[in-house]
Structure 1
Amino acid sequence: MSSSVQEGRVTKPHTRRRRVREIPKTRTTSQHHDRYAIEHDKKKKHHHQLPLVERTNERSIQEFASKYIPKECLVYQARGVAGSDPEGSEQQKEYRLSVYDPSTIPDTDLNQCFKLIEETSSDAYRDSSTGWSPTKKRKEMKLPDMKYLVVRREGGSEDDEEEGGDDVVGFMSFMITYEDGKEVVYCYEVHLSPSVQGQGLGKRLMLMLLEIGRRVGMEKAMLTVFRSNAVAQRLYAALGFETDEYSPRPRRLRNGTVKEPDYRIMSIRLDGGPYV
């Protein structure tokens, strides 16, 4: 009987198999491209499924600036300013605006922006129910969705050198966000050094805020202003801002005294434009 047949069972003779080493498959350029295209399509689909506010804030600051901020608006030629040269012609000053978010703004610029807030508004904060807290303000300035327009004076001067060579003379911070369920562009801060006030820079920054909000597709532009800041309120009113429906109202105390809120929320519908 063959050794392969035992008790009616057929068994295969034991043979040693030779192991063949498999060559690992490599991904072709075409496969790499297809994988990238699929991932790109997934991200694109995810991006378009997000609500407008989240979709906008997901963009890098470079993408945001390219899409929503007119490039020509990043240079501002100041209107005629006080003073003249020996020949009697008006001085012309030019300013350059840079766009940042908290992850890209240089520390020196952020510190200078904070100093402008401290210089121009810390007293108003101290006199208000809010109070002045440098720590809270710095924390607010670093909120992830905050965006900055930082103003620099083009060209140096002897005055700049005496002031330490710092060329940041103003800024505006804003956010694409929700307010009472509405999609808005909210102005958090707008401050100018006293040396550049009266040249139309404040108005230009506010008009840029409106234009950015319009281009993004926001319903309103909003801001909060201290009632003690009459100059700012006049500027905002001249641009069309009005007291918002959610602005705090006067409160009548138990003793009959009417307590006025120390701040005012103002807004404007973005159904016009272009603004710059």
Structure 2
Amino acid sequence: MATPKIRSANAASTSILAPELPQTDKLKEGRSYEISLVKSENLSKKAQDSIFKLFDENMYDLQKTSSFPYTEQSKREELFDQDARYIILLSPPQSLSSTPIPIVNGNNKKGKAKEIPMDFDYDNLLGFCGFRFDTEETLSSRDAEVVYCYEVQLSIKCRGQGLGKRLLDILEEIGRKRGLDKVMLTCLKSNESALAFYTKQGYIPDEIDPTRINEQEPVDDDEEEEEEEVDYRILSKSSKRI
């Protein structure tokens, strides 16, 4: 069940969640790119197609034999859920595509910020981080308030330039500003490069990670049935400043 803090985060505009975005930066090669935050509902059909294509190219082979197989329809429903948000990396920059503009209508005399749909081609998409605000169970009676990172995907043409770290840094800062407990994510064990990346960024097995729980349970010599090994890890990183 969503807590007041989670409901507040879900209701917040992108400009409230990350007032510093959109912003531009440069790749190591010198090419400019833009970082923007957008709600899934404000992605154009072409932008949604581009996001799905990058995900599918990166993950299909890994996931088709895993416990997380997907169809295009099921994955699109997850990717573009109404509560999903995206940190998007585009080159060349397209600032006007995500700029909020004030509108006035009969239901809101003071005006309300409405975001123009973000529209881009696959060739412009360097990468993205998809996330949602939610609660997750813990080993105690209190659920954790979290930013759940669903995807970090980068185009093969721009890997090794620190963009994955940049995406996570922004995501983690959003979680800290909202006063949430942690960032959580699920990663396939077979995706060894991703696991190594998340570990380098300070992510550790969460308290509800099945493998961690199994490793911490005492071994029963009389146990005849072996625990079924899962093919994924649940990782997390605290949002509390140390």
TM category (shorter chain) comes to 0.7 to 0.9
Structure 1 segments unaligned to the other structure (5+ residues): 1-49, 81-90, 157-163
Equivalence map 1:140-151=2 (5 Å): 140-151=78-89
% identical equivalent positions = 32
Deviations 1:125-158 (A, max 9, x none): 11202223221110111211110112111279xx
Equivalence map 1:81-120=2 (5 Å): 91-120=29-58
Displacement of 1:55: 1.5
CA distance in 2, matches of 1:155, 1:68: 20
Aligned to 2:193: 231
Say which of 177, 196, 203 aligns to 1:215.
Answer: 177
Equivalence map 1:1-276=2 (5 Å): 51-59=4-12, 63=13, 65-71=14-20, 74-78=23-27, 80=28, 91-154=29-92, 166-180=123-137, 181-249=143-211, 259-272=228-241
Distance 1:212 1:155, change over 3 A: closer
| Partner secondary structure for residue 52 of structure 1 | helix
How much is the aligned-residue C-alpha RMSD, in angstroms? Answer: 2.4
- 2:26·2:32 contact (CA, 8 Å) conserved in 1? yes
Displacement of 1:256: 5.5
CA distance in 2, matches of 1:187, 1:200: 18
Displacement of 1:99: 1.8
Report 1 or 2 for greater relative contact order, CA contacts < 8 Å, sequence distance ≥ 6: 2
Which stretch shifts more, 173-182 or 96-105?
96-105
Task: Give the TM-score normalised by structure 2.
Answer: 0.75
Aligned partner letter, 1:147 = R
Aligned partner letter, 2:180 = M
Aligned partner letter, 2:5 = L
Structure 2 segments unaligned to the other structure (5+ residues): 95-120, 138-142
CA distance in 2, matches of 1:136, 1:213: 27
| Partner secondary structure for residue 210 of structure 2 | coil
Deviations 1:87-132 (A, max 9, x none): xxxx312210222112211111111100011000011111202223
Displacement of 1:70: 4.5
Displacement of 1:175: 0.6
Aligned partner letter, 2:15 = S
CA distance in 2, matches of 1:165, 1:221: 28
| Partner secondary structure for residue 53 of structure 2 | helix
Equivalent pairs, count? 201
Aligned partner letter, 1:215 = K
Task: Give the TM-score normalised by structure 1.
Answer: 0.67
- Structure 1 residue runs of 4+, over 6 Å off? none
Displacement of 1:72: 5.9
Distance 1:143 1:230, change over 3 A: same
CA distance in 2, matches of 1:239, 1:107: 33
Deviations 1:23-51 (A, max 9, x none): xxxxxxxxxxxxxxxxxxxxxxxxxxx71
Aligned partner letter, 2:17 = Y
- 2:34·2:93 contact (CA, 8 Å) conserved in 1? no
| Partner secondary structure for residue 103 of structure 1 | helix
CA distance in 2, matches of 1:77, 1:166: 17
CA distance in 2, matches of 1:224, 1:187: 8
| Partner secondary structure for residue 41 of structure 2 | coil
